[in-house]
Structure 1
């Protein structure tokens, strides 16, 4: 690939990432509206709820189909782990996630993003639960783990490339959650590193999606008690 082709590929990839993120924001609007203002009419809430789910599903399908469902990173220098080893790695990552995120939530101030979710939860419980626990994690992993890898790191041949992928993926993940450059970013940095690491180590996007769902589910449960 010459310089011109590489520049075109990078530019196209950048525009696609922006496009996917724009569609993500649009698909989230119906879920967010009930949490921004008090809507008393039940039928309006139901319509917005269903519309949000439909738009999110269509976006998931669009991204999935765009890459033909191939969210299996090609990391050439890693061994092919069998099922037992993958389970062990997954459990280790899950424990690290829960311990480190739990610890950081106690030692750093509540982030603006988390405060917004708490406020949304108080105004629209079910919309927030579905959005935060089910829809958001799937779409974010498809974009910031899957699409990023497919567009810019199709073949990961060295540890340096894998490290760069994890850094960029984590930086984007932290940035989209509106975290300022201070201690509030620590939980999102931890999540970003663990989610992107699970994707490249375990070789399937289902693992980082499930970790993301688990993290957000526990956050919602803690919010409810």
Structure 2
């Protein structure tokens, strides 16, 4: 992979991430302004149009890059006993990360992340829009961004060592996007979550597994105490 290709892919990733942020705002703002009284049908249509279009566009870019690379690693994996055991292990890893985060907060080693505080604030102000974004929209979009497009920007995907390097990089960028550099403890927590998602993708080559894990994690973060 040439330097020019890597730069182009990173630029595309940044543009798509900004589009994601703008799309989130367009879905959330009507509910916040109306204090949660926006009609359900309007919110559902707006969310479907914005996130449906964004996911379709991201998937097109991801598939185009995959075809250009002729990467034999990325493919669909059937859900068999082996994959089921893998998912159970990764779900356990996710809950271990969440438990560690709760322990650090309860012992005042860390505070609740700003990302989580904003999530709960927006959930109170615009519950339907925020639920749709967090549980349905964000997981596929973020997995296509941080696992799909970002890991495609790392050369030599056919080499196992480079795939794990890409996984580590995607985990760190995921942590930075959710916690920033000013909150090192939560940066580590979100990076650990990102590494679990990246591991699912690295071990299977199938984004559906990391998307499923991400949806489960976000559902738990939103609704479980």
Q: How far 1:101 moved relative to its partner?
A: 1.6
Distance in 2, matches of 1:211 and 1:199, equals: 10
Distance 1:82 1:58, change over 3 A: closer
Question: Cα gap change, 1:73/1:9 in structure 2, threshold over 3 Å: closer, same or farther?
Answer: closer
Q: Determine if contact 2:91/2:213 at 8 Å carries over to the other structure.
A: yes
Residue 47 of structure 2 aligns with which residue?
A: 52
Q: What is the CA distance between 1:200 and its match in structure 2?
A: 0.7
**8 Å CA contact retained: 2:136, 2:215:** yes
Verify: 1:89 aligned to 2:86, yes or no: yes
Pick from 138, 141, 144: which aligns with 1:142?
Answer: 144
Structure 1: give runs of 5+ residues left out of the alignment. Answer: none
Q: TM-score, normalised by structure 2?
A: 0.84
Give the TM-score, by structure 1 length: 0.84
Aligned residue in 2 for 1:175: 176
Listed as ranges, the gaps of 5+ residues in structure 2 are 105-109
Q: What is the deviation of 1:110?
A: 0.5
- What is the root-mean-square deviation in Å for CA atoms of aligned residues? 2.7
Deviation (angstroms), 1:83: 2.5
Partner of 2:107: none
Aligned CA distance change for structure 1 residues 118 and 208 (closer, same or farther; 3 Å): same
Q: Does 1:31 align with 2:37?
A: no
1:20-42 CA distance string (max 9 Å, x none): 11221122122221454444753
Output aligned runs, 1:109-128, within 5 Å: 109-128=111-130
Total equivalences in the alignment: 214
Distance in 1, matches of 2:36 and 2:153, equals 44
Q: Out of 26-35 and 105-114, give the one that drifted further.
A: 26-35
